[in-house]
Amino acid sequence: MIKKLAIFGVGLIGGSLAKALRLAGVCETIVGCSRSEEHLKRAVELGVIDEYTLDPATAVGDADMVLLSVPLGAMRPLLEKIADHLAEGAVVTDAGSSKASVVAAAKLAFGEVPDFFVPGHPIAGREKSGVEAALADLFVDHKVILTPLPNTSPSAVERVTKMWEATGAKVQTLGVEQHDKVLAATSHLPHVVAYSLVETVSETDCVDQIFEYAAGGFRDSSRVASSDPVMWRDVCLENREAILDSITEFQANLGDLKSLIETSDADALLELFAHAKKVRDQHVTNS
C-alpha cells in the first residue's frame, strides 16, 4: 500500500498510473505536480489526482512514493529541486523512455545515484497525450522495464514492482544500456521513421490528394507521428547514440531495398519481403 504518491507530470502516463492505482485501491492519496496549474486543476476535476501543488519540494514532503513522468529534458532540473526534500524512506522512480540519461541526471542531482532511485520505463503509450487521454487500463498486460543499478536497494525495486503490478503490468528488469539499445530499435526508430514519412508526404505538390487517398497502410505507418513532439524531441536528444545507430542500420537496409527496385531484382525482392513477413508474423501479434 502506498500512503502518498507524488506524480510529477500528470499526463498520459502519470494520469493512467493514478487511475489504475485508484481502481486497484492500493494508494491512499495522490498529489500531482507540474508547471501548469490549469492542467493540474483539470486532473483534480477529472478525479485523477486528489490534490496538487506547483512546488516540487512540497509535493515530495510526505510522499512515500515518487514518480517522475516528465519529458526527459525536465528530469535533471526536477531531481535537483526535490533532492533535499524527500521524506525518509521514500522511493523514487521514473517513466522515461531512455534510461542512461535519467541515471546520469540522478547522479548529477544527488552526487551519486541514490539507492532509493529505481529507473523505470512502462512500455505503453497512445498517440494522444495529456491527462484527458489517461486510461485506467493502459498498462494491463504491458511490460514495465526496471533498470536497477548494482547499488539500488532491493526493497525499493520491490515496492516499485508491486506498484506497477497493481496496474496489471508485467515487470521485468534489463540493464540500462541494453534497455536503451532495444528501445531505440523497437520504439524510437519507428517514431523517427513515421515523422519522416509524414514530412515526405506533406512536401509533395499534391498533398491534399495524397492524404485524401491515404489508406490504412499510411494511417498505421504514420500513427506514432501524432505523438507528443516535446517528449520525442527529448527522447532523440537523450538516447542519441543508440537512435543514431538504429537509423544508420535502417538507412543501409532501405538503401539495399532501393537497389533491388532499381535493378528490378524480382527474386531478391520476393525473398526480402517473404523474410520480413515471416519474422513479423512470428514475433508480433496484431491487435
Count how many residues are written for the chain. 287
Site for a second copy, residues 173 to 192, rule: CB under 8 A: 178, 181-183, 185-187, 189-192
- Tell me how many residues contact a second copy (CB under 8 A): 93
**Minimal distance in Å, beta carbon 248 to a second copy?**
8
Of the two residues 4 and 188, which places its CB atom closer to a second copy in the complex?
188
Which of 53, 56, 54, 145 has the alpha carbon at shortest distance from 96? Answer: 145
CB of 75 to a second copy, least distance (A): 15
**Applying CB under 8 A, which of residues 86, 125, 134, 146 lies at the interface with a second copy?**
125
Return the number of the residue (42 or 181) whose C-beta is nearest a second copy: 181
Note whether 162 binds a second copy by CB under 8 A.
no
Binding flags for a second copy, 62-81, as an x/- string (CB under 8 A): -----------x--------
Grid coordinates belonging to 124: 505503453
Q: How far is the CB of 148 from a second copy (least distance, A)?
A: 17
CA distance 33 to 52: 6
β-strands 120-122, 143-146: how paired?
A: antiparallel
Residue 95 · residue 68 · CB < 8 Å: yes
Count other C-beta atoms under 10 Å from residue 92's C-beta.
Answer: 25
Complex with a second copy: residue 55 or 177, whichever CB lies closer: 177
Between residues 37 and 211, which has the closer beta carbon with respect to a second copy? 211
Q: Which of 50, 51, 80, 127 binds a second copy (CB under 8 A)?
A: 127
Q: Residue 246 interacts with a second copy (CB under 8 A)?
A: yes
Decide: is 157 part of the binding site for a second copy (CB under 8 A).
Answer: no
Residue 155 near a second copy by CB under 8 A:
no
Determine which residue in the list 50, 142, 165, 168 makes contact with a second copy, applying CB under 8 A: 142
What separation in angstroms does the CA of 133 have from each of 10, 126, 130, 154, 188? 11, 8, 6, 33, 21
In the complex, least distance from residue 141 CB atom to a second copy, rounded to whole angstroms: 12
Smallest separation (angstroms) from a second copy to the CB of 146: 13
141 is an interface residue for a second copy by CB under 8 A: no
| Residue in 23, 87, 123, 133 binding a second copy, rule: CB under 8 A | 123
Residues 214 to 243 in contact with a second copy, rule: CB under 8 A: 214-227, 229-230, 232-233, 236-237, 240, 243
Q: Identify which of 121, 68, 126 has the alpha carbon closest to the alpha carbon of residue 97.
A: 121
What is the gyration radius of the CA atoms in the chain, in angstroms?
21
User: Can you read off the three cell numbers belonging to residue 150?
Assistant: 548494482
Only segment of 13-21, 34-42, 152-160, 279-287 that touches a second copy (CB under 8 A): 279-287
Residues 28-47 that bind a second copy (CB under 8 A): none
